[in-house]
Chain A
Amino acid sequence: MSDGLIIDQLKKTQILELLKEGKRVDGRQFDEPRKLTIDTGVIPKAEGSARARLGDTEVVAGVKIQPERPFPDTGDKGMLICTAEILPIAHPSAETGPPQPHVVELARVTDRGIRESGMLDMKQLVLEKDKSVIGIFCDNAVTDHDGNLFDACSYASTAAINSCKIPKYEMQDEKPVKIEDEFIEPPITTLPVSVTMAKIGDFIVVDPTIEEWGIMDARITITSNSDSNVVALQKGGSDGFTQEELIKCAEISIKVGSKIREIIKESK
């Protein structure tokens, strides 16, 4: 069973039978995501934060910002790192200890969506070339797991970064010094939004719940940007997609994503 979730055979049969009649267990359309609510600024000590609830899946993302020494090959750009972890309070299957492969994948897919979209103009986040740059760390904590953590983390991260305030720093004696109570707006260029689809039998459904997640044959997460371009993609699960399915999935992702982008914009 994918991600270690055990669903009894009865439920699997029931979900498949319903899909054949054009219905989902919770009554949604195939291309209808669950209700999304986003609150920003929920962690005042973080420079940016957001709580995203996608159905009963809940993620809290916090952004911390501090000056960093840049990597040798990217001294002319700021630093951006997204992580994700599933807290043990989120689900009985969640474990403490070193991250399981599916958690590593969750963190890397979340990071890739934000990074590859070029959401932030990293060139504007340099304090002194090759010496000091602004580092933006967006950490996602999954607090309740009802499936589709990829999208919940994507929405929480995008909302948290979109609403963050970057403290102002100045170089003094080759060291970055924080100027109290002065902030700059984050250099946002686009808002990446991921949409995950599950393939169950021959059906493709948007935003799978944990029950659908447990029985799906394959999944695909497609991230699009404000210009309706595809910026990141991850296929998972033990089956494949046909060429036609993939093109259809990209269209669904762009369409559904544009509605979700409005919710993220309003949450700022």
Chain B
Amino acid sequence: MGGRDTDIVLLDENGIRSDGRKVNETRKVTIKAGVLKNANGSAYIEFGDNKILVGVYGPRDVHPKHMSDTDTGILRCRYHMAPFSVGERKNPAPSRREIEISKVIKEALEPAVMLKEFPRTAVDVYMEVLQADGGTRCAALTGASVALADAGIPMRDLVAGCAAGKAADAVILDVNNEEDQAGQADLPIGYMPNLKKITLLQLDGVLTPEEYKQCIEIGIEGCNQVYEIQKKALQDKFFASGEKQ
């Protein structure tokens, strides 16, 4: 953040953002469950211009063996951006940013996944960002929950992701790339709507305590909307033949 200098108008006089959205509106989200043949569970998510493919393998044997835990299964997450996913080619080796995001997404999913059911095993979640446009960690987290559910892994809740933030002095929902670069704050949220628990939360940028409260509130509202789309994706896959829910 840090408010880089730019000529882009992030919010016009009618309260409309640079991509035509209102302040409290998310981008268009579409999710499809079960898109990969080999993975135990998978999902493809489009979150605005973000395009992310998630594959889940497991529960399966842990390699290397010393990582296995006799009391519980372990969750391993890899968030990775394709070299062609951004404007300037990204080095395909995992960056420090990707290592950190993998860790926060893992910790966002852990409260939802009932890992104690599978001691000595691992569940691997691979998130491949094919195109990035701001808010990839929330989109990847959203897709990962659907892929885990698609794999039939017992879960307490789905985790839905959506960011809130601040641009042009206004609190906004679902920060896109332009707003992330030129805006004032970005607050990604991961939320379990049934359990009402926030499992992913980061912030960069300056917020007053009042704006911070508003951001969390509006962010949770965004997550609730994303949650409905996640459930629909699972219903579409498992009840496609017209069965009743």
Residues on A facing B (Cβ under 8 Å): 73-74, 76, 101-102, 104-105, 107-108, 112, 115-118, 122, 218, 220, 225, 228-243, 246-247, 250-251, 254
Which of A104, A118, A234 lies at the interface centre, i.e. has the most chain B CB atoms within 10 A of its CB? A104
B49 at interface (Cβ–Cβ under 8 A)?
no
When the two chains form their complex, are residues A242 and B198 in contact, meaning their CB atoms are under 8 A apart? yes
B103 at interface (Cβ–Cβ under 8 A)?
yes
When the two chains form their complex, are residues A239 and B111 in contact, meaning their CB atoms are under 8 A apart? yes
- The count of A-to-B residue pairs whose CB atoms sit within 8 angstroms is 107
Identify the closest chain A residue to B204 (Cβ).
Answer: A116
What residues of B have a CB within 8 angstroms of the CB of A239 in the complex?
110-111, 197, 199
When the two chains form their complex, are residues B201 and A235 in contact, meaning their CB atoms are under 8 A apart? yes
B118 at interface (Cβ–Cβ under 8 A)?
no
Chain B contact surface mostly: mixed
When the two chains form their complex, are residues A105 and B103 in contact, meaning their CB atoms are under 8 A apart? yes
When the two chains form their complex, are residues A250 and B209 in contact, meaning their CB atoms are under 8 A apart? yes
What residues of B have a CB within 8 angstroms of the CB of A105 in the complex?
99-100, 103-104
Known A101-B102, A235-B201, A247-B216; judge A240-B192 contact (CB<8 A): yes
When the two chains form their complex, are residues B111 and A238 in contact, meaning their CB atoms are under 8 A apart? yes
CA distance A225 to B202 in the complex (A): 16
Sort chain B's interface into a size bin: 35 or more
What residues of A have a CB within 8 angstroms of the CB of B14 in the complex?
none
Residue of A102, A104, A115, A240 near B197 (CB, 8 A) is A240
When the two chains form their complex, are residues B202 and A234 in contact, meaning their CB atoms are under 8 A apart? yes
What residues of B have a CB within 8 angstroms of the CB of A247 in the complex?
212-213, 216
- B36 nearest CB across to chain A (Å): 26
When the two chains form their complex, are residues A229 and B206 in contact, meaning their CB atoms are under 8 A apart? yes
Instruction: Name 29 interchain pairs, CB-CB below 8 A, sorted by A.
Output: A73-B4, A76-B5, A101-B100, A101-B102, A101-B103, A102-B103, A105-B103, A105-B104, A108-B96, A115-B204, A116-B204, A116-B205, A229-B206, A230-B209, A230-B212, A231-B205, A231-B206, A232-B203, A235-B198, A236-B107, A238-B111, A240-B111, A240-B197, A240-B199, A241-B198, A243-B198, A243-B217, A246-B201, A247-B212
- A72 nearest CB across to chain B (Å): 10
What residues of B have a CB within 8 angstroms of the CB of A254 in the complex?
209
Residues on B facing A (Cβ under 8 Å): 1-2, 4-5, 96-97, 99-100, 102-104, 107, 110-111, 187, 192, 195-209, 212-213, 216-217, 220
When the two chains form their complex, are residues A117 and B206 in contact, meaning their CB atoms are under 8 A apart? yes
Which of A225, A238, A247 lies at the interface centre, i.e. has the most chain B CB atoms within 10 A of its CB? A238
Known A231-B205, A233-B187; judge A242-B103 contact (CB<8 A): no
What residues of A have a CB within 8 angstroms of the CB of B96 in the complex?
104, 107-108
What residues of A have a CB within 8 angstroms of the CB of B202 in the complex?
233-235
Known A238-B111, A240-B192; judge A232-B204 contact (CB<8 A): yes
- A33 nearest CB across to chain B (Å): 20
What residues of B have a CB within 8 angstroms of the CB of A251 in the complex?
209
When the two chains form their complex, are residues B104 and A236 in contact, meaning their CB atoms are under 8 A apart? yes
CA distance A251 to B143 in the complex (A): 33
What residues of A have a CB within 8 angstroms of the CB of B111 in the complex?
238-240
When the two chains form their complex, are residues B207 and A229 in contact, meaning their CB atoms are under 8 A apart? yes
Identify the closest chain A residue to B191 (Cβ).
Answer: A240
What residues of A have a CB within 8 angstroms of the CB of B99 in the complex?
101, 104-105
When the two chains form their complex, are residues B206 and A238 in contact, meaning their CB atoms are under 8 A apart? no
Identify the closest chain A residue to B109 (Cβ).
Answer: A238
What residues of A have a CB within 8 angstroms of the CB of B100 in the complex?
101, 104-105, 108
Residue of A107, A116, A234, A250 near B212 (CB, 8 A) is A250
4 more A-B residue pairs beyond the given contacts A101-B103, A230-B206, A235-B104, with a C-beta to C-beta distance below 8 A: A231-B204, A236-B104, A238-B110, A240-B198
